[in-house]
Chain A
Amino acid sequence: MMDAGRHPLIDVFTLSEVIGLEGRPGNYQATVRTAPRYVDLDLCTGCGQCSDACPIAVPNEFDIGLGTRKAIYSPFPQAVPNAYTLDFDNCLNDVILACERCRKACDINAIKYDDYPKEFTIPVGSVIVATGTGVYTPYQKGDYGYGIYPNVMTGLEYERMLNASGPTNGKIIRPSDGRTPKKVAFIQCIGARCALEGGEYCSRFCCLNSAKCALLTKDHEPDVDEVSIHYIDMRAFGKGYDEFYRRTQAEPWIKYVRGKPSKILEDPETRNLILYTEDQATGKPQKRDADLVILASAGMPNREVTTQLAKILGIETDEYGFFVSRQSSTQALEATRDGIYLCGCSRGPEDIPDSVAQASGAAALAAKHLADHRIERIKEDIPQVDTSGPPRIGVFVCNCGINIAGVLDVKKLAEQAAKLPNVVWVQSDLFTCSDQAQRVIQERIVEHKLNRIIAAACTPRTHEPIFRETIRLVGLNPYLFEMVNIRDQCSWVHAHEPEAAMERATDQIRMAVARSARLEPLEAKELKVNPSAVVIGGGLAGMRAATDLALQGFPVTLIEKTERLGGRSRELNVTFPEEYDAETLFNEAYERLKQSGARVLTGTEVIGVDGFVGGFTVKTDTNGDVKAGAIIMAIGSDIYNPVGEYGYGMTKGVITNMQLEAQLKQGEVELDGESVKTAAFVQCVGSRDPETNPGCSRYCCATTVKQALALRKRGINVIVFYRDMRTFSHHAEESYREARRAGVVFVRYNDDRKPEIIGENKVTGIRAYTEAIDDIVEADVDLVVLAVGLSPYKEAYAKLKEIMKVPTGPDGFFMERHPKLGPVETNTEGIFVCGCAQGPKDLTDSVAQASGAAGKAATLLANETVLLDPTTCAVSFDLCRDCGTCVAICDFHAPERVAIGGGLFAAKINEALCKGCGTCAAMCPTGAIKARHFTDNQISSMMRVFLLGSEA
């Protein structure tokens, strides 16, 4: 957020709307209208004096009306920009003459009551629609009493209550009496998967969101006795989601209850709620009570707003008001007008990892219209702060709302820090990461000539880059910043032992101060970037990534091991949900690839990769070396081989869904030339199983629905045995409904009681226990279709893992850098991953992610140079005895032997390959290797103050 606010190439217009779009792709003129803020953006420092002076309090939209705000306000502490906004509709100056309290309270005259709306036009080559989604408001859902019973609230309202900067500062209370609830009940699919009210679609994010809120409930309020989640199917389909779901299932106080309550009534005396549900064991109606009910409301756009915007942009929306993709399997990110792209929830509900990947994808597509309009990198001229003198340390202790301050005595921590050696300035803030607090840090550096900064706050993983950039902008070397994690590693994990936590935080800060004094400024080295890319894997994802990069003007080579492009898509009959002919789909994609100018090498295998970010050499078996600045891995995944399960490979009539797809492609579904009467599908074969693939394979439920409908069209009876129907993808829920209407029978089986096949050599039937009737269901069938999961290509992955230095996760798929911050990046800079190589997914998500990888790769390739992280290791030739230990142990092949004259050799570390892990420095017998930013001197100073209590 803050990065976007201060990037020189991003102009942010808040309180603004697009009101017109003229022209054509590559040459649009957008008209934007900015509403008056009545506060000067350039002058306002966000001090808040105006708000303190304001006598008016109105419900706060950001807290969905749970809290209040003033008429002049900032929506939340970390707002960007951090300037205040005057809501003139609620301002006294509007109705009574001259209140003017805020104007008088403002020392810098930033408030201007005569501000007015402005309109202006911007030349744009393309447009990205990232308008997100609204949330379904369940007033219509009268059965659940929202808006009538005070203790029934929506998921988003609950989310605000959990938030440390929300209306209750993170306390969970019952709105009726302010009491902490004992029993909290979540109800899923509010306004989703319902033909009567809301939408028929699946809202994708709510299942896991409620699971997350359930965990947080006990974190915030240890006295809560029970959290129940009332659901239809748990759709934990994302990477790591099923594992997360299992973790919540293992908590004895979290109860998953299948089935939506029929109604909720309130006990008028206690204001407790009675949920009418079904007892799963007996199938009889039962009542469950709860103190607080959370309705997991679906994502749903404000249709009036989106249809209005659609009209302005000349694109289409669907019946709910979501923007429509040109074609959902391979052109999901393209709107129905050229040069306009979609990402995130604007085209349907999405979770954060998918939204972020799509955003990078939309960036790749939008950038192709501006390939000739890239802006030269602006040379910055920031005078450097002299750091040669004695250390002058500034310590900033963050409250993080109640995340830290709820456990630790922040004031005391600050007082203690003030007494430590070299500390010149100490302060604490509600949120040290807020724009306002960052500005204060910059001011203090100048004012007090600070040359070392410490933030005692949260995790460096997400926040260190922000702080480093903050101090860099005022000329302080970013490596003179030190972060102490007193939240994740202290107040969170020791929440129930505040005294011990306090002791620990004190130690952490003391150690950081000692280390900070010894930090040295480090300069990042610049490396030249070769602007070309290699994409490995020629399936639809790889083809898409190559196309999107080539259209942006980067030379691309697509390398495919087999003789033909298209990968798995060539085995498909039609795609889901549009029933688009798969061969036509491939041909269209191939045509786009050809026109993009990408070079294609089929029948070519990658046998090695040399070099590093910006300058890789990809070695192939048949086509020599290919040079590239970036590499995208799009090698797809294998299909689980179910041999031995459900009689597969032994019993005739048991086939996989891919084999069925091949038959559907041929036309008739037959068994030994005889027609099939009844077919049964078994879901989750090789998925959601800790033994094989712990996660969900994402594609199979929707595929089964597609195939079941195709079989019904051929007059074949169909039974589907499933655990949770995860038809979450675009239009899948609607198809699931259609399948039930078409007579497909869905039978749920339990995780621990899989269906059994009947028949010795040839399948004659199938039986399974189902909780719904607490009995065994048995059916005569002549075909059993196993919906097999996706699994890693064991050998190919092992080889690439070694060649690329990209790790695989516990599920065997390649690991992304971060699920939300870097879903298509890997831990090796310059190497990107997309499609099923990163984890199972359907065609739509694979291809969208491929565009995302192209977008991310472009951020590297569009720049002539890339900065290297200078926290690497270095060898002192004087001390090196050429023993070769470092060369042997480094996983990244960074150290090498070099001649240093006089017939002598020593180790030298290639900084572009070095990850700064420090293993070599630890192993070096002569102490010749120094790990920059983690030197012996810095580390031992921390040990000294920890063990001895002082630096003596």
Chain B
Amino acid sequence: MDKGVLVIGGGVAGIQAALDLAAARVKTYLVEKAPSLGGRMAQLDKTFPTMDCSI
């Protein structure tokens, strides 16, 4: 396995960190306890103040 960064938690913060690392060519291991990524934000309907869809 390539040496990389371990990201614990697959909510909006964990996903963003993983995407930025991967875009900077750093191998990333994203570990999430639940069956799906998404975390708290995926439970929301829309987000303030721009009312974008949460997904």
Q: Do A and B bind each other?
A: yes
Tell me the A residues contacting B by CB distance below 8 Å.
1, 3-5, 7-18, 28, 30, 32, 37, 62, 74-76, 78-81, 85, 122-133, 156, 159-160, 162-164, 166, 170, 208-209, 211-212, 215-216, 238, 240-241, 243-244, 309, 343-346, 352, 355-356, 358-360, 362-364, 366-367, 369-370, 373-377, 403, 431, 433, 458-459, 462, 552, 818-820, 855-856, 858-859, 861-863
Q: Is the CB of B6 within 8 A of A375?
A: no
**A124-B29, A343-B17 known; A130 and B8 CB under 8 Å?**
yes
Q: State the CA gap A132–B35 with chains docked (Å).
A: 16
| Residue among A14, A364, A376, A431 with max Cβ neighbours from chain B (10 Å) | A14
Q: Is the CB of A375 within 8 A of B37?
A: no
Q: Is the CB of B31 within 8 A of A373?
A: no
- By a CB distance below 8 angstroms, the chain A residues around B42 are 1, 76, 78
**A9-B27, A125-B3, A859-B20 known; A4 and B35 CB under 8 Å?**
no
Q: State the CA gap A433–B55 with chains docked (Å).
A: 9
Q: Is the CB of B35 within 8 A of A85?
A: yes
Q: Is the CB of A375 within 8 A of B26?
A: yes
Q: Is the CB of A366 within 8 A of B48?
A: no
**A12-B37, A18-B6, A79-B35 known; A122 and B48 CB under 8 Å?**
no
User: In the assembled complex, how far is the CB of residue A215 from the closest CB belonging to chain B, in whole angstroms?
Assistant: 8
Q: State the CA gap A900–B32 with chains docked (Å).
A: 58
Q: State the CA gap A14–B36 with chains docked (Å).
A: 6
Q: Is the CB of B30 within 8 A of A13?
A: yes
Q: State the CA gap A209–B51 with chains docked (Å).
A: 11
Chain A interface mostly helix, strand, loop or mixed?
Answer: mixed
- By a CB distance below 8 angstroms, the chain B residues around A14 are 10, 32, 34-37
Closest B residue to A131 by beta carbon equals B9
- By a CB distance below 8 angstroms, the chain A residues around B51 are 212, 215
* Residue from A12, A160, A309 within 8 A of B30 (CB atoms): A12
Q: Is the CB of A352 within 8 A of B5?
A: no
Interface string of B10-32 (1 = CB under 8 A from A): 11111111111111111111111
Q: Is the CB of A356 within 8 A of B13?
A: yes
Q: Is the CB of B36 within 8 A of A356?
A: no
Q: State the CA gap A159–B21 with chains docked (Å).
A: 31
- By a CB distance below 8 angstroms, the chain B residues around A15 are 32-35
- By a CB distance below 8 angstroms, the chain A residues around B13 are 130, 132, 343-346, 355-356, 358-359, 362
Q: State the CA gap A816–B19 with chains docked (Å).
A: 19
| Residue among A123, A133, A162, A166 with max Cβ neighbours from chain B (10 Å) | A123
Q: State the CA gap A433–B38 with chains docked (Å).
A: 14
Q: 17 other contacts beyond A76-B36, A130-B8, A216-B45, with CB at 8 A cut-off? A: A1-B55, A9-B26, A76-B42, A124-B5, A211-B48, A240-B49, A358-B13, A360-B17, A362-B17, A366-B5, A366-B21, A370-B3, A370-B4, A370-B26, A374-B26, A403-B53, A855-B20
**A14-B36, A79-B35 known; A820 and B4 CB under 8 Å?**
no
- By a CB distance below 8 angstroms, the chain A residues around B6 are 18, 28, 30, 122, 124, 126-128
B residues contacting the other copy or chain, number (CB 8 A): 55
Q: Is the CB of B50 within 8 A of A367?
A: no
User: In the assembled complex, how far is the CB of residue A210 from the closest CB belonging to chain B, in whole angstroms?
Assistant: 10
**A129-B8, A370-B26, A820-B50 known; A80 and B36 CB under 8 Å?**
yes
Between A and B, 16 residue pairs with Cβ closer than 8 Å are: A1-B38, A78-B38, A122-B6, A163-B43, A163-B45, A208-B49, A209-B48, A212-B48, A238-B49, A240-B49, A346-B9, A363-B5, A363-B20, A363-B24, A373-B4, A819-B50
Q: Is the CB of A132 within 8 A of B37?
A: no
Q: State the CA gap A311–B37 with chains docked (Å).
A: 24
Q: State the CA gap A125–B27 with chains docked (Å).
A: 10
User: In the assembled complex, how far is the CB of residue A300 from the closest CB belonging to chain B, in whole angstroms?
Assistant: 12
Closest B residue to A864 by beta carbon equals B25
- By a CB distance below 8 angstroms, the chain A residues around B47 are 212, 352, 820
Q: State the CA gap A433–B53 with chains docked (Å).
A: 12
User: In the assembled complex, how far is the CB of residue A459 from the closest CB belonging to chain B, in whole angstroms?
Assistant: 8
**A80-B37, A125-B3, A370-B3 known; A4 and B8 CB under 8 Å?**
no
User: In the assembled complex, how far is the CB of residue B4 from the closest CB belonging to chain A, in whole angstroms?
Assistant: 6
Closest B residue to A433 by beta carbon equals B55
- By a CB distance below 8 angstroms, the chain B residues around A458 are 53
* Residue from A75, A373, A859 within 8 A of B23 (CB atoms): A859
Q: State the CA gap A352–B48 with chains docked (Å).
A: 9
- By a CB distance below 8 angstroms, the chain B residues around A17 are 31, 33
Q: State the CA gap A412–B52 with chains docked (Å).
A: 27
- By a CB distance below 8 angstroms, the chain A residues around B2 are 123, 373, 375
* Residue from B18, B27, B43 within 8 A of A373 (CB atoms): B27
Q: Is the CB of B36 within 8 A of A127?
A: no
Q: State the CA gap A5–B18 with chains docked (Å).
A: 10
Q: Is the CB of B3 within 8 A of A373?
A: yes
Closest B residue to A160 by beta carbon equals B43
- By a CB distance below 8 angstroms, the chain A residues around B19 are 3-4, 7, 10
Closest A residue to B40 by beta carbon equals A132
Q: Is the CB of B43 within 8 A of A243?
A: no
Q: Is the CB of B41 within 8 A of A12?
A: no
- By a CB distance below 8 angstroms, the chain B residues around A11 are 27-30
Closest A residue to B39 by beta carbon equals A132
Q: Is the CB of B33 within 8 A of A16?
A: yes
Q: State the CA gap A431–B42 with chains docked (Å).
A: 14
Q: State the CA gap A459–B50 with chains docked (Å).
A: 13
Q: Is the CB of B29 within 8 A of A122?
A: yes
User: In the assembled complex, how far is the CB of residue A66 from the closest CB belonging to chain B, in whole angstroms?
Assistant: 11
Q: State the CA gap A129–B10 with chains docked (Å).
A: 10
- By a CB distance below 8 angstroms, the chain A residues around B16 are 355-356, 359-360, 363
User: In the assembled complex, how far is the CB of residue A271 from the closest CB belonging to chain B, in whole angstroms?
Assistant: 25
User: In the assembled complex, how far is the CB of residue B30 from the closest CB belonging to chain A, in whole angstroms?
Assistant: 5
Q: Is the CB of B17 within 8 A of A130?
A: yes
Q: Is the CB of B22 within 8 A of A7?
A: yes
Q: State the CA gap A163–B42 with chains docked (Å).
A: 10
**A130-B17, A433-B55 known; A858 and B36 CB under 8 Å?**
no
User: In the assembled complex, how far is the CB of residue A17 from the closest CB belonging to chain B, in whole angstroms?
Assistant: 6
Closest A residue to B30 by beta carbon equals A12
Q: State the CA gap A81–B5 with chains docked (Å).
A: 20
**A4-B19, A5-B37, A367-B21 known; A130 and B7 CB under 8 Å?**
yes
Closest 8 CB pairs of A and B: A344-B13, A130-B14, A244-B49, A79-B36, A859-B23, A359-B16, A130-B9, A9-B22
